[in-house]
Amino acid sequence: MFALSWLFKKSTFCLCAISLSFGIHCNVYAKPDLQALGPNIAEQGSSYYQFQVKNFQSADQQRHYKVWVGIPKHINKNKILPAVYMLDGNSAMARLDESLLKKLSEQDSPVLVAIGYQTQLPFESASRSVDYTPADESGKVAADPRNPERMAGGSAQFRQVLFEKIMPWVNTQVKLDKQRTALWGHSYGGLFVLDTLLNSQSTDNKFSHYFSASPSLTWADSRLLKAVEKAPPEQLKNKKLWVMEGDIIQSTTRPISPNADRDMIQNNRQLVLDLASKGVDGKLMLYPHLSHGQVFQASLMDVLQNRLF
């Protein structure tokens, strides 16, 4: 406790343990469910949110995006609203239901932007492997060192699509509060959130809050952690970051998701401390009794329901 108190005072480090009951019934060691999804709330229709949908393409035409924008219905069209951009948008959309949208419409009424792919699956594994991971020093897309049958290292190109195509379109649909525009992602998506933070400039206000859920920090020989060491403090000062993780330590004998990190808590703690030393307003949030995969739902609901941005 003494050490933790010292860390809080010296490095603006916050460790939060949260009790959750989001109705998660996943096997702790299970891989993502890749069964086809049914109609989501945008297709079913909502009394509280209206959804606009638009397709986009990667610059090389190899990856095909589908973006949903959910806008509260009972809101003055000229009102400036908070927003959260959610990666793995297909799976994120599948977790939104009418009861949640009702609660959101009665609270801050955030705009919901889900960035997914043109697929019926919850995750487009090959595409997200490219889009969500940073390149090595060559800057080129190459085989994913964790899954060599896939490519990786295209986060800069995906970020360009996000900044130059997707976000301008969203801004034509609704007025957003630049002081309350968040980016959330899980696993490889969590890496993209961190990579976007590291590549932001001090004057860049694309996102005000960054939520990195169970990021795959050991991916590619800890490439992201090494990038943190090199990041100049001047472009990170006062950035707001939440690193969100479960506290289940993965078994050394049972099979786990290849994207899970056996040293996740230690690595995440060090990540937040390192970024705090460079001026980031960082928090590590631990979810009791949840695994890598289960943190997807828990962290997303936490961001949406508990006004973290």
Q: Do residues 154 and 129 touch, judged by C-beta distance below 8 A? A: no
Catalytic residue chosen out of the listed positions 105, 109, 155, 187: 187
Give residue 278's region: left, alpha or beta (phi > 0; psi -120 to 50).
alpha
125 burial level (CB within 10 Å; 0-12, 13-18, 19+): middle
Question: Which of 46, 109, 209, 292 is the catalytic position?
Answer: 292
Rounded to whole angstroms, what are the CA distances from 242 to 86, 169, 186, 278? Answer: 14, 27, 12, 15
User: At CA 225, angle to CA 223 and CA 227, rounded to 5?
Assistant: 70
* Residue 70 to residue 74: CA distance in whole angstroms: 12
Cα dihedral 41/46/48/49 (nearest 10)? 60
Distance in angstroms (rounded) separating the CA atoms of residues 206 and 204: 6
Q: Is residue 187 annotated as part of the catalytic site, yes or no?
A: yes
* Phi, psi dihedrals of residue 34, rounded to the nearest 5°: -110, 25
Q: Using CA atoms, how far apart are residues 293 and 291, in angstroms rounded to an integer?
A: 6
Determine whether 292 is an active site residue. yes
Rounded alpha-carbon distances, angstroms, from residue 300 to 21, 45, 60, 116: 13, 21, 30, 15
Q: Which residues are catalytic?
A: 187, 292
